[in-house]
Amino acid sequence: MSSLLASARCIVVKVGSSLVTNDGRGLDQNAIAAWADQIARLRGQGRQVVLVSSGAVAEGMQRLEWSKRPTAINELQAAAAVGQMGLVQMYESCFARHGMHTAQLLLTHDDMADRKRYLNARSTLRTLLDLNVIPIINENDTVVTDEIRFGDNDTLASLVANLVEADALVILTDQQGLYSDDPRKNSGATLIQHATAGDSTLEKMAGGVGSHVGTGGMLTKIHAAKRAARSGAHTIIASGREPDVLVRLAQNEVIGTHLRAPEMKTAARKQWLADHLQVCGKLTLDKGAAKALREDGKSLLPIGVTAVSGDFERGELVVCVDERGDEIARGLVNYTALETARILRKPSQDIEQILGYVSEPELIHRDNLVLL
């Protein structure tokens, strides 16, 4: 089978902390220069590239002489503020050798959750790509809080892939790819070369956090591939220590794990609903309602809801789960949590009598709902 990068015109590349900082020993100038060289070659082929780079916190730890990654948000913010200076300076100097400009974008979950800021970020990125500038993106750790942080740059990279409607997401890590089992514990584990993004069996193969420097593990990469696939982006998980890995992938060499996106794309607004908003509550659906959503493309009516949890307001995002607790959809709810609790299991024509008013007959309209 061929490489999923061979025909990609717009590519998001994510580089992990352990690669950027040589396993936490400080910025690896040789490695960063090599990626700049490869990306320059891809740009010479007419491809657009967005770079999502970890490393600010790790570089800050190095400069501050901290041997252990802090857990306190204020210390993480301080390390990021210190490290981001060196990280961006290094990328700028390495790309300048190829006569290329770079641009720094720092994002938080809040930027993605606000529809106007989301669209502004997309417009900025598309403009930079049209200007042949390499956008370098990182999470804005200097202002982030527990409630709004992406948590890892695998997630951020997948959201960026959705944002720019990339053809492919390449996650470079210190592992060869996804194995059938943990190769550090099972010598018989085999590398998974080809699979479909979103296949539930992949999650069972993925282990926990793999590096003491970064926050992501193989499971976050599998989830990132599933998220990126919603906009049609294929995902490749490969070792960043492979020589010329990006160039070789573009030349149709199969390296690492290739996770193909299903043919069906999710509309841009529904991608935003699925991935960019904070979940504020949960609705449990009976079998009939679950079938109406999954198979019939219907809106969610209050009569099909058996339980409600969370403290949400009208217009906020809630998850819909079936009787087994499996998440089947997300959507913008038309009533508050208290109102929903009063009208669940009731027919829509009773809403006005119960609440004293009726906003919509549906609890969630199908136009504001995305299946997962």
Tokens at residue 2, please? 């061929």
Q: Above 70 in pLDDT, residue 65? A: yes
Residue type, 46: G
The verdict on residue 104 lying in a domain is: yes
The verdict on residue 306 lying in a domain is: yes
DSSP 190: -
**Closest listed residue to residue 107, CA positions, set 71, 151, 173:** 151
**Closest listed residue to residue 139, CA positions, set 45, 251, 54:** 54
> Considering its fold, how many domains does the chain have in total?
2
What gap in Å lies between CA 77 and CA 60, rounded to an integer?
Answer: 10
The verdict on residue 5 lying in a domain is: no
Q: CB–CB of 52/34 below 8 Å?
A: no
Query: Do 60 and 186 belong to one domain?
Result: yes
Query: Do 111 and 63 belong to one domain?
Result: yes
Q: Above 80 in pLDDT, residue 74? A: yes
Domain boundary among the residues 227, 243, 270 is at: 270
Share of the chain above pLDDT 90, in %: 54
What gap in Å lies between CA 215 and CA 220, rounded to an integer?
Answer: 9
The verdict on residue 167 lying in a domain is: yes
Query: Do 36 and 127 belong to one domain?
Result: yes
Query: Do 173 and 266 belong to one domain?
Result: yes
Domain containing residue 366: CATH number? 2.30.130.10
Query: Do 297 and 251 belong to one domain?
Result: no
Query: Do 325 and 232 belong to one domain?
Result: no
The model's pLDDT over 117-171, given as tens digits with 9 standing for 90+, comes to 887 888 899 899 999 999 999 888 777 765 556 657 898 999 899 888 899 999 9
Confidence of residue 116 (pLDDT cuts 50, 70, 90): confident
Query: Do 249 and 294 belong to one domain?
Result: no
Domain boundary among the residues 252, 270, 288 is at: 270
**Dihedral, CA of residue 59, residue 61, residue 62 and residue 63, to nearest 10:** 90
Q: Are strands 102-107 and 10-15 parallel, antiparallel or unpaired?
A: unpaired
Domain boundary among the residues 270, 296, 321 is at: 270
Residue 14's CB is within 10 A of a number of other CB atoms, namely 31
The verdict on residue 62 lying in a domain is: yes
**Closest listed residue to residue 278, CA positions, set 108, 107, 113, 106:** 113
What gap in Å lies between CA 242 and CA 191, rounded to an integer?
Answer: 15
**Cβ burial 108-124 (10 Å sphere, 16+ → b, else e):** bbbbbbeeeebeebbee
Range of the domain at 320: 278-371
DSSP 262: P
pTM for the whole structure: 0.75
Query: Do 291 and 307 belong to one domain?
Result: yes
Query: Do 229 and 285 belong to one domain?
Result: no
Query: Do 194 and 51 belong to one domain?
Result: yes
The verdict on residue 3 lying in a domain is: no
Domain containing residue 184: CATH number? 3.40.1160.10
Q: What is the DSSP string of 332-360?
A: E-SS-HHHHHHHTTS-GGGHHHHHSS-S-
Query: Do 246 and 311 belong to one domain?
Result: no
Residue 348's CB is within 10 A of a number of other CB atoms, namely 16
Measured in degrees and rounded to the nearest 5, phi and psi for residue 142 equal -75, -20
**Closest listed residue to residue 196, CA positions, set 131, 127, 257:** 257
Confidence of residue 268 (pLDDT cuts 50, 70, 90): low
Confidence of residue 211 (pLDDT cuts 50, 70, 90): very low
What radius of gyration, in Å, describes the C-alpha atoms of the chain? 22
